Structure 1
């Protein structure tokens, strides 16, 4: 009888541990991001989705904001960023970002990117930098490889702010 009670208790404990660590699907993770952003899927455009380091990664945009979410497989929001779109910036900011004077250099932008992705300069290969516009803002469009990943980001030439970023396994 004691063996039966012990076996039943062990089975319940194991079931409880497995249930507590249940993993969510990518669709469930997407739903968590949308609910947190207080937007509906029909109101946004997904610009990238994927997995990185066992976390779901989502970039999406509404008419007013750009969103970035990292969600763990347990459903916890590990990181999120909300960036106002350029058309919603105050008029003074629009004037500032449309100026032709660059406030940061290409080298400074690269340093910002390397720090964001926590890569060391000696591991970086195939660096590409071009001047571009993202939502009306002049940016450095930066791409490079490090280790077994490809990295990309857009950095404002006037503020040094990372406007969007992505990394993918090669």
Structure 2
């Protein structure tokens, strides 16, 4: 009887310990973990992608000089880090002394950036950029046309827009209620 009581007390104690260890982090906490590891503040970076799945989070962000991709587990552990050099897109202003670029270079210069696609989607939906969450932007081929698929959550709704990479036109958009 005494052994059974000790076994029960031990089992209950273990369950309390394991329950505390299983705390899942929020999106904001995971974002803070990535920023802290990178030695940056939210004011110093621009988030370009934020993905949440069943086992954690993936954040893509950049400064003026460096791009970061962080994968954070649902428990707050950094699973993977990827960094690369980043240059801020500049307006292509040709002065009189510069030679014109080759046609293929002009086409690349005319292509929208992810940030520009996000700006177009935000303007299209007329939402506050500072209040959007769960941002995801990726490029895909939609019926032979290169588009950015911009998705985010704002005010309890999921917004989605496809932005033509070449023209900047919104080719489709959708707003869904989150259940």
For normalisation by structure 1, the TM-score amounts to: 0.50
Deviations 1:12-31 (A, max 9, x none): 11122222332211111111
- Once superposed, what is the RMSD of the aligned Cα atoms? 3.1
How far 1:35 moved relative to its partner?
Answer: 1.0
- The count of corresponding residues between Structure 1 and Structure 2 is 105
The runs of at least 4 aligned residues of structure 1 exceeding 4 Å deviation read 98-102
How far 1:64 moved relative to its partner?
Answer: 1.7
How far 1:43 moved relative to its partner?
Answer: 1.0
Aligned to 2:48: 47
How far 1:99 moved relative to its partner?
Answer: 7.2
Matches within 5 A, 1:62-81: 62-81=63-82
For normalisation by structure 2, the TM-score amounts to: 0.48
User: Relative to 1, partners in 2 of residues 1:28 and 1:142: Cα closer, same or farther, differing over 3 Å?
Assistant: closer
Query: Structure 1: how far apart are the matches of 2:55 and 2:7?
Result: 35
Q: Does 1:132 align with 2:111?
A: yes
User: Relative to 1, partners in 2 of residues 1:73 and 1:30: Cα closer, same or farther, differing over 3 Å?
Assistant: same
Deviations 1:41-94 (A, max 9, x none): 11112122230342211111212212111110111212221121125xxxxxxx
User: Relative to 1, partners in 2 of residues 1:100 and 1:77: Cα closer, same or farther, differing over 3 Å?
Assistant: farther
Query: Structure 1: how far apart are the matches of 2:29 and 2:51?
Result: 13
State the secondary structure of the residue aligned to 1:74: coil
Query: Structure 2: how far apart are the matches of 1:99 and 1:35?
Result: 43
Query: Structure 2: how far apart are the matches of 1:81 and 1:99?
Result: 33
Aligned to 1:22: 23
Aligned to 1:92: none
User: Relative to 1, partners in 2 of residues 1:63 and 1:86: Cα closer, same or farther, differing over 3 Å?
Assistant: closer
Matches within 5 A, 1:6-155: 6-86=7-87, 132=111, 134=113, 142-144=139-141
Query: Structure 1: how far apart are the matches of 2:103 and 2:53?
Result: 36
State the secondary structure of the residue aligned to 1:86: coil
Query: Structure 2: how far apart are the matches of 1:61 and 1:8?
Result: 50
